[in-house]
Amino acid sequence: MRPASRAEGWCNGVEALVYQGPWQLSVETVEDPSPGPGEVLIRVVATGICGSDVHGFSGETGRRHPGQVMGHEMVGRLEQVGADVDPVRGLQTGRVVTVNPLIACGGCAACAAGSEQSCQHRRVIGVDPQIVSAFAGLLVCPARNVVVLPDHMPVEYGALVEPLSVGYHAARRGQCTAGDVVLVLGGGPIGQACVLAAHRRGADTIAVSEPNPTRRALAASLGAVALDPTAADLPGQVADALGGPATLVLDAVGSTASLADAVQSAVYGARVVLVGLGSPRVELSAYAVSTEERSLVGSFCFSADDFRETARWVATSPEVLSRLVDGRVDMQGAPAAFAELARGESSASKILVFPHGVPTSDPRP
């Protein structure tokens, strides 16, 4: 994919949300991108605000750079197809599509093994500062990263495919099965994705630990037992709610405290999957892992197959998806939404940004 340089390949103008530095976003007009060979142009309908975007906005992670256009949880309509795009892939203009933001090289051992998330040459839409990403009216991306969605589903559901794929990959990495007793730590969007992924893989005994009452209520509506970790001893709550310790823990927080909760709430021999990125460094009881033979497994992004499989599930329009989006803003309202999320002042779980304006009618069924 060519760098989305403002110096070449532009024609008219479209609004984009530009990161200017910590706590600074501006809405600017940038020139329209044009797809090159093997690429497509997408008119963005909606893009979700991810926790990683919020942490980048606040400057916590240092993974966002001034002048960058972020955004990787997107859905849109195909606007233009570049040269050399295989016509059998169904990429006709006007079709509803989502985009796998992970651009892998396609030629290394990891890619050959179907583990594109481990490609050492990967680039990620929304993270790579050279790519004008999905908080913009138009997006250019490789055609191979596009997944076509059915016209009959609520369009905004397509923006949920990416975060739901993160949860599905975590559950798959943890080898989640119908027999598992599952504990999810954190009830934010990735924790919610983990709950739904565990259900998709057959588990029906699931608890979520989440201090925020709004997110606890949402977790309960997804079919999990919602626990307040500030109310009482968490391992005891887990045992009472699930009939015993967890056999699988999906940590969607990623901190020293959450990992301590994970091992203390899990049986001997349990699997603990670290998918949250709350802290770059954590401390962990080595004895709790080694002497009790627990497995600690890392989970990053998703494979291309995980993404496609999740897109197929979303395409069936499960009713539960109607509960996941609780905020919608246009481009002008996006900077305030970012600031409220970063300050912890918003009760919203998933906010979508609509570059061309928020729909006037409810997009859900």
Q: How confident is the model at residue 364 (pLDDT cuts 50, 70, 90)?
A: low
Task: Give me the helix-helix angle, 256-264 and 234-242, nearest 10°.
Answer: 40
pLDDT of residue 5: 37
Q: What percentage of residues in the chain have a pLDDT greater than 70?
A: 95
pLDDT of residue 291: 95
In a domain, 5, yes or no: no
Distance CA 248, CA 246 (A): 5
- 145 and 36 fall within a common domain: yes
Q: Which domain holds residue 180?
A: 175-298
Distance CA 363, CA 302 (A): 27
* Mean local confidence (pLDDT), 215-232: 96
Q: Computed from CA positions of residues 271, 276, 277, 278, in that sequence, does the dihedral angle turn out positive or negative?
A: negative
- 220 and 256 fall within a common domain: yes
pLDDT of residue 18: 96
Distance CA 147, CA 144 (A): 8
Q: How confident is the model at residue 88 (pLDDT cuts 50, 70, 90)?
A: low
pLDDT of residue 279: 85
* Mean local confidence (pLDDT), 236-262: 96
In a domain, 211, yes or no: yes
Radius of gyration of the chain (CA): 20
Q: Does the pLDDT of residue 33 top 80, yes or no?
A: yes
Specify whether the backbone of 222 is left (phi greater than 0), alpha (psi in -120 to 50) or beta.
Answer: alpha
Q: Does the pLDDT of residue 49 top 80, yes or no?
A: yes
pLDDT of residue 12: 67
Q: Which one is predicted more confidently, 88 or 31?
A: 31
Average pLDDT score over the chain: 92
- 231 and 344 fall within a common domain: no
- 102 and 128 fall within a common domain: yes
Q: Does the pLDDT of residue 365 top 70, yes or no?
A: no
327 residue type, one letter: G
pLDDT of residue 143: 96
- 294 and 306 fall within a common domain: no
- 31 and 155 fall within a common domain: yes
- 113 and 146 fall within a common domain: yes
Q: Does the pLDDT of residue 3 top 50, yes or no?
A: no
The total of structural domains in the chain comes to 2
- Residue that is last in its domain, among 283, 298, 313: 298
* Mean local confidence (pLDDT), 130-151: 95
In a domain, 252, yes or no: yes
CA distances from 182 to 83, 171, 177, 293, 352 (A): 47, 10, 10, 18, 29
